[in-house]
Chains A and B, each alone.
Chain A
Amino acid sequence: MISLSNVTKTFGSNQVLLGVDLTIASGTSMVIIGGSGSGKSVLLKCILGLERPNAGSITLDGQDVTKGDRDAFLARFGMLFQGGALFDSLRVWENVAFRLMRGAAALPKPLAREVAIEKLRRVGLKPDTADLFPAELSGGMQKRVGLARAIAAKPEIIFFDEPTTGLDPIMAGVINDLIREIVVEMGATAITITHDMSSVRAIADNVAMLHGGVIRWTGPVSEMDATPDPYVQQFIHGRAEGPIESVR
């Protein structure tokens, strides 16, 4: 279980998180929604230790995430970055097998390649993409490779940062289905950040809305449409009018 308690984060005078309280139960899929710049990615980075919160605590199975063996902690995570974040200088299969070829339990290169090709197949990519460089792939294919890399080492917890942004609706649907399948199949805990409401409905067990630096509403996805919270209602229906100010 991942638990955030009163987490705050500021960048200079910009207050991004103002006391976030959120709990994600093991084996469930939590989707965090919220406007651009509301701090969703910062929240994920705080959990991973890529950003240090100014205050508050984050625990994983009761253990403070800032303490203990960092490598062992990170080995439990996989992450799909918004832009893929594939390493340009490495071939596709080397990107996917990056973690598999490192550490005490490193696999030999041929075996790591085999596993990488299997993961690529799992996300719908043919084996002949394995020897290409990321720059030779389309945006959708890069997302899939990022997804294959995120699941390659069978992590217990997977983060997806805007997995469908910039993709056409069909490719977005394919990625959503893949994420749902992978999370169910692996029994992993997942946190997904998205603006895409079709993704929310396809991926989520639970939904949390981040607005104004705090969690405005959280609950099961089945209750999202019925919640009277005006912020959630404005966001999920994409209304320009409402309590969330929009810049025109």
Chain B
Amino acid sequence: MTPTVALAALGRPVLAGLAAVGRVALFAGAILGHILRPPFYLRELGHSLLQIGWFSLPVVGLTAIFTGGALALQIYAGGSRFNAEAVVPSIVAIGMTRELGPVLGGLMVAARVASSIAAEIGTMKVTEQIDALVTLSTNPLKYLALPRVLAATLAMPVLVGVGDAIGIMGGWLVGITRLDFNSATYLKNTLDFLETWDVGSGLVKGAVFGFIVALMGCYHGMNSARGAQGVGRATKSAVVSASVLILAANYILTELFFTS
């Protein structure tokens, strides 16, 4: 293989990746450009808030309670190696609010919501419903994408907050039933060591993850290829790209928030 061929083989995917980033950025800009311009589709926003926020509560809550419980067990087991079992309440609280609440909540919502948005919009595209919207003088980005992106960005911090509380409660339940913690002491330790920014940073992460989830769902749905296979591929791409972007964004936000 000549150096030129090797460079070309390396350059092609890099260029394709950069082009994809550019397309997503333009798509996001096109959606956000509609925020302040009427008409405002409040009914669609309310519907999306219900679908994305309210109906995601069970999955986020279940994820959080089991994660909080498992976290308590792991920290207790690890802490016991150097007589630090007492840190369980504070580490569970910090771990849930800063990292596990937003990240696992974001991943669960990505699986549930990005797939659903991509499949719905993708099906609308292949059945010409998007074209029908245009012929009825309705901008599909404004009518379909903006309400979903706004709803996910607004609902995710609430979901993360609820998930944090349930996760901490999971740790407390395991702490008092399996690890012989005193209930009042566990709660006091949790509250004493938890800072406002621990919770706040998780909520900000939640908003960013919500934006990513809905953006990926809408982007892949709008660019879905024809047929059932096209919609299936769009759905898969939406979930995979949203999940990877959530993990990447989480690292960047953690660097920004906690290393300065």
Interface 9-residue window, one of B131-139, B159-167, B180-188: B131-139
Contact present for B127 and A98 (CB under 8 Å): no
Question: How far is it, in angstroms, between the C-alpha of A70 and the C-alpha of B136 when the chains are bound?
Answer: 11
Residues in A whose Cβ lies below 8 Å from that of B131:
45, 50, 81, 85
B132, B136, B137 — which one has the most chain A CB atoms within 10 A of its CB? B136
Q: How far is the CB of B150 from chain A (nearest CB, A)?
A: 18
Main secondary structure of the interface of B (DSSP, over half): helix
A103 within 8 A of B: yes
With A and B bound together, what is the CA distance between A98 and B131 in angstroms?
14
**What are 29 A-B pairs at a CB distance below 8 A?**
A45-B131, A49-B134, A50-B135, A70-B137, A74-B134, A74-B135, A74-B136, A77-B135, A79-B132, A79-B135, A81-B128, A81-B131, A81-B132, A85-B127, A85-B129, A85-B131, A85-B132, A86-B132, A87-B124, A87-B129, A87-B132, A88-B123, A98-B136, A98-B138, A99-B136, A99-B137, A102-B136, A102-B137, A149-B136
> Dominant SS at the A interface?
loop
Check: B39 CB closer than 8 A to any chain A CB: yes
Interface string of A68-84 (1 = CB under 8 A from B): 00110011011101110
- Seen from chain B, the residues whose Cβ lies within 8 Å of a Cβ on chain A are 39, 123-124, 127-129, 131-138
Check A85–B128 contact: CB distance below 8 A: yes
In the A-B complex, list the 9 residue pairs whose CB atoms are closest, starting with the nearest. A85-B132, A85-B128, A74-B137, A81-B128, A79-B135, A99-B136, A71-B137, A85-B129, A50-B131
Q: Which residue of B lies closest to A161 (CB)?
A: B128
Other than the known A87-B129, A102-B138, what 10 A-B pairs have Cβ atoms closer than 8 Å?
A45-B131, A49-B134, A50-B134, A79-B132, A81-B132, A85-B128, A85-B131, A85-B132, A87-B124, A99-B137
List residues of chain A with CB under 8 Å of any chain B CB.
Answer: 45, 48-50, 70-71, 74-75, 77-79, 81-83, 85-88, 98-99, 102-103, 149
A82, B128: Cβ atoms closer than 8 Å: yes
B51 CB, nearest partner CB in chain A, Å: 10
Question: How far apart sit A78 and B132, CA to CA, in the bound complex (Å)?
Answer: 9
Q: Is the CB of B129 within 8 A of A102?
A: no
In whole angstroms, what is the CA distance A247 to B209 when docked? 51
CB nearest to A98 among chain B residues: B136
Q: Return chain A residues, CB-CB under 8 Å to B39.
A: 102
Which residue on B lies nearest to A79, using beta carbons? B135
Residues from chain A with a CB closer than 8 A to the CB of B137 are 70-71, 74-75, 99, 102-103
Question: In the bound complex, how far is the Cα of B140 from the Cα of A74, in angstroms?
Answer: 14
A99 to B132, CA, bound (A): 11
**What is the CA–CA distance of A75 and B127 in the complex, to the nearest angstrom?**
22
Chain B residues in 8 Å Cβ range of A99: 136-137
Question: Measured between C-beta atoms, what is the minimum distance from A147 to chain B in Å?
Answer: 13
A103 to B137 CA separation, bound complex (whole angstroms): 8
Residues of chain A with a CB closer than 8 A to B123's CB: 88
B135 and A48: CB pair below 8 A?
A: yes
A contact residues around B127 at 8 Å (CB): 83, 85
